[in-house]
């Protein structure tokens, strides 16, 4: 079974631009969570989607948004990029009702210049 895939793997953007990251969960997994990882703050929870609905959101500004499609694939969008948004963005998927065990993708490394 294929693992969680994230595209693109690397991205360089300029301040003020927007960016969209994609995550394809493991087949059959309907829950997708997004995390931001930086050296200073570590891994921080962004949001979680299940059946196309956002069920939970972390403490991030409204510039960070996401969505989930009917095939469980998910995208996250960051508008008006700031230098501090440079980070590794990770998504994780899990089976419905079994979010104890989340499977992480390799992440998208975003650099904002």
Taking the least distance from each CB to another protein, the nearer of 14 and 97 is 97
Residue from 26, 29, 48, 64 touching another protein (CB under 8 A): that is 48
Residue from 42, 62, 70, 113 touching another protein (CB under 8 A): that is 42
Nearest approach in angstroms of CB 79 to another protein is 24
Residue 98 and residue 31: Cα distance in Å, rounded? 9
The two tokens of residue 18 are 């927007």
Strand order in the sheet with 74-78: 5-7, 19-24, 74-78, 64-68
Taking the least distance from each CB to another protein, the nearer of 20 and 95 is 95
User: Measured in whole angstroms, how far is the alpha carbon of residue 2 from the centre of its chain?
Assistant: 18
Please report whether residue 23 would count as binding another protein according to CB under 8 A. Answer: no
């Amino acid at each position: 079974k294929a693992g969680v895939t994230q595209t693109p793997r690397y991205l360089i953007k300029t301040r003020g631009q927007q960016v969209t990251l994609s995550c394809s969960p493991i087949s059959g997994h309907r829950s997708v969570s997004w995390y931001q990882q930086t050296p200073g703050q570590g891994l921080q929870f962004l949001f979680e989607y299940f059946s196309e609905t956002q069920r939970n959101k972390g403490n991030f500004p409204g510039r960070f948004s996401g969505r989930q499609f009917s095939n469980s694939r998910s995208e996250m969008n960051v508008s008006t990029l700031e230098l501090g948004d440079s980070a590794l963005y990770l998504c994780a998927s899990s089976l419905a009702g079994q979010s104890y065990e989340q499977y992480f993708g390799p992440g998208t490394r975003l650099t904002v210049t």
